[in-house]
Amino acid sequence: MKYQLTLLATTLALTGCGGSDSEDTSVPSYTVSGSIITSYIAPNSKVCVDINQNLMCDATEPSTTADAQGNFSITDTNKNIVTFPLLAETQSSLQSTNAYSNQGGAISEKAYIMAPGLQKSTGNQINGISSLIVGHMNNGMTEKEAVNLITSHLSAKGISLSGNLLDNLQDPDLAILEQNVITLLKHTKNQNRTQILSLLSANIINNPVDMVTSVLNETQSLDFIKELNTISLNGSPLNDTGTVLYFTDENNEHNVATPPLSFPGQDADFGLDKNERDPVQHNGFKFIKLDKNGNKVDISTSEWSCVLDDRSGLIWEVKSADEASIQFKNRQLALEYNNVAPFIKDKNLATCKTSGDSICTTKDYVEYINSIQLCGKSNWRLPRFHEVYNLIDFGETQTNEDGEVYGLSANFFPNQPKGSPDIEVGGIWHQTMTYSSYSPYNKQGGVNFNDLTLLGNNKGGVSNIEIFTENTPIRFNAEYENDPSYIFPARLVSVQGN
């Protein structure tokens, strides 16, 4: 009777009984290959597998030099090399400028563009657009989510690709965006490249200069990367919540200064509000008052024009209580930002129509504040969503004239807007929009806006609303007429430094 040997038994028989004259002790190797597909760096650049994912080619990481056509192939014993980002090394732009000499840290002699690790052993492509995908994936997205987000942003700019973004990285319509991305990455220092790439990917569509259709000049590039560096390099860019009291239901009390034994582990026990309390604010915020020229003034002064958030490096406009002022806290503006032009019905409801001036839209307002160089600054802009959220003081208890609890620290921001006439919860314009066409109820030309609650006990809440634009017709169809959408006040932001 013949017995069928298992694979293990056969192996043991051969190795244990002299079935093989020599023992194979070689270590298996794995290969990942692809191409550098951009004209903005040399084709024969160094390429590496970023195993430790610090977005630098370290000496211990497998690498090679691409050929004259930009093709490369890297072989290593690590079977996971297809899962890590691929980096192409190029010359940095930092050597030609001292723009960051006051930021500290060594100047990088190299810059990098990258491609995500897509578990492909061949056909990997590295350029500026693939670098954006890596940035979004650093922010926690999957490759599919990152591709879909970039594609939707491009669609909002009027760019339609014939297929998947990963198959169209060299599409001529993406050339300007790619050039801008690579230029910005060349201005990034070693020690904060990962953070800058993540911030760049998250904010590139919302930059005041349209980077899909306009090539950034040197000044614009430096201003944008300096802003991202300010946020990234600050030791603690995120503020704490401002909550310093504890909830309790003992003795008919609700909020007390000492932690109750019955409810341990509350917010007030942790973070900057506990460990680095400001002596005036009595919480973790580090605010500094600035006069109209941008000079720091004493905390007790009764007149100031701006507030520096010393943690984030952002400078915020202080609103006025004077209804005749262009900076009146409740001045209503129609949205006009980047590629979004205002819906005519919204513009007709703006405060300018009754005050008799020409500051009707957010673009008008930004231009006006920059023209007067408020606090010595001429780079004021709409804030981004996360920047406004980072300013919320959840521990603030002071109220406005209507009894609504302020969303920001009242000691520094005394005149806080009521919000839209239709949504009086303190909302202000920010520049973070989304473009969605999945809903059958979305009007043509509409954009989605996350209205952030900045007044009342529900501060920090978010409501998604649709804002109409110039592309929204006055009439949606023969039966229903499009009414106005929304108008909001604005509180502008700038960046510390020149």
Structural domains in the chain (count)? 2
- pLDDT number for residue 99: 39
By C-alpha distance, which of 353, 334, 359, 308 is closest to 472? 334
Q: Is 282 within a domain?
A: no
One domain for residues 334 and 467 = yes
One domain for residues 485 and 343 = yes
- pLDDT number for residue 406: 97
Tens-digit pLDDT string for the chain (498 aa): 222 333 333 333 333 444 444 555 577 889 999 999 999 999 999 999 998 888 889 899 999 999 999 999 999 998 889 989 999 999 887 644 343 333 444 444 688 999 999 989 999 999 999 999 998 887 667 888 889 888 888 887 888 999 999 999 999 999 999 999 999 998 887 766 777 787 788 777 666 677 888 898 888 888 887 777 665 555 446 788 888 888 887 766 678 888 888 888 887 888 888 888 888 778 889 999 999 999 999 999 999 999 999 888 889 999 999 999 999 999 999 999 877 889 999 999 999 999 999 999 999 999 999 999 999 998 899 998 888 999 999 999 999 999 999 999 999 999 999 999 999 999 999 987 765 444 444 556 788 888 999 999 999 998 889 899 888 877 645 455 678 999 999 999 997 753
21 three-class SS: coil
Q: Is 243 within a domain?
A: no
One domain for residues 204 and 339 = no
One domain for residues 356 and 470 = yes
Q: Strands, DSSP E only, in 355-484?
A: 433-434, 447-452, 462-467
Q: Is 283 within a domain?
A: no
Tokens of 284: 């973790």
Q: Is 406 within a domain?
A: yes
Neighbouring C-beta atoms of residue 98, cutoff 10 Å: 9
177 three-class SS: helix
Name the pTM for this structure. 0.59
In whole angstroms, give the CA distance from residue 231 to residue 329: 27
Q: Strands, DSSP E only, in 45-109?
A: 46-49, 63-65, 71-76, 86-91
214, 233, 252: which is the final residue of a domain?
233
The residue assigned the tokens 């700019």 is: 157
204, 233, 262: which is the final residue of a domain?
233
One domain for residues 217 and 351 = no
In whole angstroms, give the CA distance from residue 202 to residue 189: 18
199, 233, 267: which is the final residue of a domain?
233
One domain for residues 35 and 173 = yes
- pLDDT number for residue 102: 38
Q: Is 87 within a domain?
A: yes
- pLDDT number for residue 487: 97
Q: Is 94 within a domain?
A: yes
pLDDT in tens, 258-295: 888 888 888 788 888 888 888 877 888 999 999 999 99
- Residue 66: domain span: 30-233
One domain for residues 227 and 333 = no
Q: Is 348 within a domain?
A: yes
Q: Is 268 within a domain?
A: no
pLDDT in tens, 169-210: 999 999 999 999 999 998 887 766 777 787 788 777 666 677
One domain for residues 225 and 349 = no
102 three-class SS: coil
In whole angstroms, give the CA distance from residue 259 to residue 219: 51
CB 181 within 8 A of CB 192: no
User: What are the angstrom distances between the C-alpha of 162 and each of 159, 165, 417, 496?
Assistant: 10, 8, 45, 43
